[in-house]
Amino acid sequence: MTPAATDVETTQIYRVYIKATPEEIWEAITSPEWTNRYGYGGFARYDLQPGGAFQVDASQEFIDAGAPSVVVDGEVIESDPPRRLVQTWRMLMDPTMAEEGFTRLTYEIEEVPHSATKVTIVHEMEQAPTVAAMVAGTSESTGAGGGWAWVLSDLKSLLETGARLSG
């Protein structure tokens, strides 16, 4: 989905090329066994149909650190495996972000012949400035993680080398 002209300023786009099949990447995004292995971790639960529920259950490590048992929730808008997933996405890690409500997240997965798979994340965040700052990685130095750029870099490392980035 191309963002409308009115919300371009609150849209962030991230793109990475990964040497893996679209199916492997789809699996890494939608199955809890995989989502706990990179980025912020946690177990993603998807009901992959329009209107289906989405939530990320916190890992034990997060719960021990004081996180709620569900760290992200939302709803599936469109599911076209392994090419396109559109969903709403609400961060529940802290009350300010939870209050900003649901944002819109699109994953586009496209095979580039003889090369790699192109993964694009379009995150539309109208009226969600705190979430926007978090996913842009602007508070990384305070331990809030590096946002989508870091998540995608880690996912690339995991799928291409079998290992996460150190640190």
Partner 1 sequence: MDDDDRVFKALADPTRRFLLDLLFTRDGRTQSELESELEMTRFGVAKHLKVLEDAGLVVARRSGREKHHFLNPVPIRLIHDRWIDKYTERRVTALADLKRELEGTP
Which residues sit at the interface with partner 1, rule CB under 8 A?
2-5, 8-9, 11-17, 120, 122, 137, 146, 148-150, 152-154, 156-157, 165-167
Residues in contact with 39: Cβ distance below 8 Å, sequence separation at least 6, in sequence order: 145, 150, 151, 154, 155
Q: How far is the CB of 165 from partner 1 (least distance, A)?
A: 5
Nearer to partner 1, 58 or 152 (CB): 152
Q: Which strand ranges, in their side-by-side order, compose the sheet holding 116-124?
A: 11-18, 116-124, 103-112, 84-91, 70-80, 53-57, 43-46
Q: How far is the CB of 146 from partner 1 (least distance, A)?
A: 7
Nearer to partner 1, 25 or 58 (CB): 25
3-state secondary structure at position 94: coil
Nearer to partner 1, 85 or 132 (CB): 132
For 149, the token pair is: 């750029």
Nearer to partner 1, 52 or 137 (CB): 137
78 membership: H or E segment, kind and range: strand 70-80
Q: How far is the CB of 20 from partner 1 (least distance, A)?
A: 15
Q: How far is the CB of 48 from partner 1 (least distance, A)?
A: 25
Nearer to partner 1, 9 or 78 (CB): 9
DSSP string, 103-166: EEEEEEEEEETTTEEEEEEEEE-TT-HHHHHHHTTTTGGGTT--HHHHHHHHHHHHHHHSSPPP
Q: How far is the CB of 52 from partner 1 (least distance, A)?
A: 27
